[in-house]
Structure formats: C-alpha cells, structure tokens
Amino acid sequence: MLVDRARRSLGQAAWRRPFADPRHFQIAVLLGLLIYGMTALDFGLSGARITVTIGTALVTQWVADHLVRRPNTGIDLRSPLISSFSLCLILRTGSLWIAALASVLAIGSKYAIRHRGKHVFNPANFGIAVVTLTTSQAWVSPGQWGSVALLGFALAGLGGLVVYRAARSDVSYAFLASYAGFLFARAAWLGDPWQIPVHQLSNGALLLFAFFMVSDPKTTPNARMGRLVHGVLIAAIALVFRFHFHEPDGLLWSLLLVSPLVPLWDRVFAGSLYQWSGPRSVAHLGLTDVALTNPTRTRATAPNLLRPTGTQS
C-alpha cells in the first residue's frame, strides 16, 4: 500500500528512470563501496555502528525538516543516506555515541550553517572534522582502502559517473589534476623518482574524497570558473597540511577551510544556483508530489532562496 502511494505521487516516469536524479546513483555507488569495504577489505564495522549512524542521520533530518518547514512535507531520505554512508566509509570510532554525534553534526550543519540558499560545509566532512577535533575516540583511516590498482580504477569510474550526472565533474578533475601536478612538481624539485608521486596518487581514499566530497553540488561554487579555483585551492592546501604540518587527514581539513570561501567565488563569478534535477525519489514515500527541475535562477534572485527548501543534501 505504501509503495502504491509513492508510485501514484511520483508518477511512472520516476520508476522507469530511477537514476534520473544523480543522488540515486550516488546512493547506489556508496552502498556498493560500503559492502565491498566490509566484505573484501575487512573494515571491521559493526552492525550496531552502521545502524546508529544511518538511523541517527534519518531522525535528525526528520526533526530538522519539521522544525524549519511544515510538518506534513515529508522527509527526503536521499540526503541523510548519502551523508551517513559517507560517515560509515570514512569515520572510524569505537563509540556509538560519537557515531551518533557525527550524524547529528553532519545533518544539522545543513540547516544551521547556510548562505544564500546553500549550506556552507559538506555534511559528512563537517561531522567528521568536529568529532575528530573534539574527541580522542574518532579518527580517519585513509590507508584502509589500500593502493590496489583495480580498486582505484573502479572508484575513478564510479565516481566519474556520479559527478558527471551531477554536473560537477569539473571541480573533481580540477582537484585531481592540481593535486597530481603539485606532487610531480615537488618530486622534480626534490629530485625524487617519479614512482613516489605515482604511489602517493594510488590511493582509493583520494578518489573517494575527490568524487564524493569535493564535488558536492550544494557546497561548490555556482560558476565553472569558481569551481576550478575551488578545486585547485583545496589541492594546494591539502598538500600544505600533508607535507608541512605532517597531517595525514589534510584532505578533510583543506575542504573544511576552503568551503567558507564558496560565497566569495559565487560573488566574483556569476552562476546559477544548483538544484537537483529529476522527479522526487520514492524516499519521499508519497507524502509530496513536487517535481524538481534545473534552475535558471542567478545571483540576482539568490536572496529569495534564504529559506531552506526540500532539496537540501
């Protein structure tokens, strides 16, 4: 009955084209990576940890939606699923309370820290950064993905499809090209063999970061030039963290520091505010029948978008 209700609200097109909205594809890819990590890479994630992370994200989204919007608007499950899957893939902790706190911080940041209709920080990045900075029981383990070439190619291919469908491939490739260029330039300057930067680039965590965090459409600049600047700056600061401060989690800290500059890039480089395209997913459970389309809004109409909408992610 519930499925029939959702189907009537969404229309048959949503069922015929389940990946019309890039978030659906992203959820599928992240879930696949999570299953791969647990079965082939032995991530050591408990069922309780996964349940708490995902469940807390969903509850936080529901509560936040009811606080800022009408109670009968329903809940969009796509955003909390993407954020909670990312937390499961990246964050490591032995405490269920910290796992829950990371989910609350990730989802809550979308509503609490906003500018002109966009949340400032990537939700998962914000949640991970806060709990690793403020507690001694949370950490990031980039080495868990290893440097297996097959995994790297798979991540690059899947991630490339995701960012292409979300129209944000430019920022991911700008970041990766700059990161690689800086590494090879450093190796040349120091006289290191080229195998060293190749090894430094052969990391699944780097590709996961590039394709699933840097490319978040709701936290990247509106204009392409702004996104290119954004990607290059993230790469440069990440390498400063890595080689000057010897910080292994430099990628996360770089994104956290650069994200507040996005409003500046949006002011300097004019562009349209991104909106997710395609029909609303079955995750809405048929509680609303509003369809989403790509925007034509520009900076001139941005002040009208200060109020949170149902398309946050």
How many CA within 13 A on the CB side of residue 40?
11
Give 119's strand partners: 114
Beta bridge partners of 118: 115
Rounded Cα gap, residues 287 and 244, in angstroms: 51
Which pLDDT does position 305 carry in this prediction?
A: 36
CB atoms near residue 152 (< 10 Å):
18
Q: Hey, what amino acid is at 267?
A: R
More confident residue, 209 or 40: 209
CA separation for the pair 149, 204 (Å, rounded): 9
From 142, 248, 158, select the one nearest 203 (Cα to Cα): 142
Q: Are the C-beta atoms of residues 288 and 54 closer than 8 Å to each other? A: no
pLDDT in tens, 33-82: 888 888 888 888 889 999 999 999 999 999 998 888 755 556 788 899 99
Q: Which is higher by pLDDT, 196 or 282? A: 196
Output the CA–CA distances (angstroms, integers) from residue 108 to 41, 60, 113, 258, in the order listed: 31, 7, 8, 20
216 backbone dihedrals φ, ψ, rounded to 5°: -50, 115
Angle (deg, nearest 10), helices 22-39 and 149-165: 160
Give the count of beta carbons closer than 10 Å to the beta carbon of residue 243.
13
Identity (one letter) of the amino acid at 123?
P
pLDDT at 282 over 50: no
User: What pLDDT, on a 0 to 100 scale, did the predictor assign at position 289?
Assistant: 30
d(CA 194, CA 79): 40
Phi, psi of 39 (to 5 degrees): -95, -40
Nearest to 275 by CA among 259, 298, 303: 298
The model's pTM: 0.79
Look-up of token digits 């459970």: 285
For the chain, the average pLDDT equals 79
| Three-state DSSP state, 137 | coil
Q: Return the pLDDT at 33.
A: 85
Distances in Å between the Cα of 140 and the Cα atoms of 25, 83, 192, 275 are 25, 16, 28, 31
Q: Read off the pLDDT of residues 143-161 as tens digits, 9 standing for 90 and up.
A: 777 665 556 656 666 666 6
Q: pLDDT by residue (tens digit) across 211-233?
A: 889 988 889 999 999 999 999 99
As to burial, measured by CB atoms within 10 angstroms (0-12 exposed, 13-18 middle, 19+ buried), residue 191 is: exposed
Position 165 scores a pLDDT of 64
Q: Which two tokens stand for residue 219?
A: 């936290």
Percentage of the chain modeled with pLDDT above 90: 47
pLDDT at 300 over 50: no
Pair 168, 119: CB distance under 8 Å = no
Q: What is the pLDDT of residue 164?
A: 63
- pLDDT value of position 39: 86
82-103, pLDDT tens digit by residue? 999 999 999 999 999 999 999 9
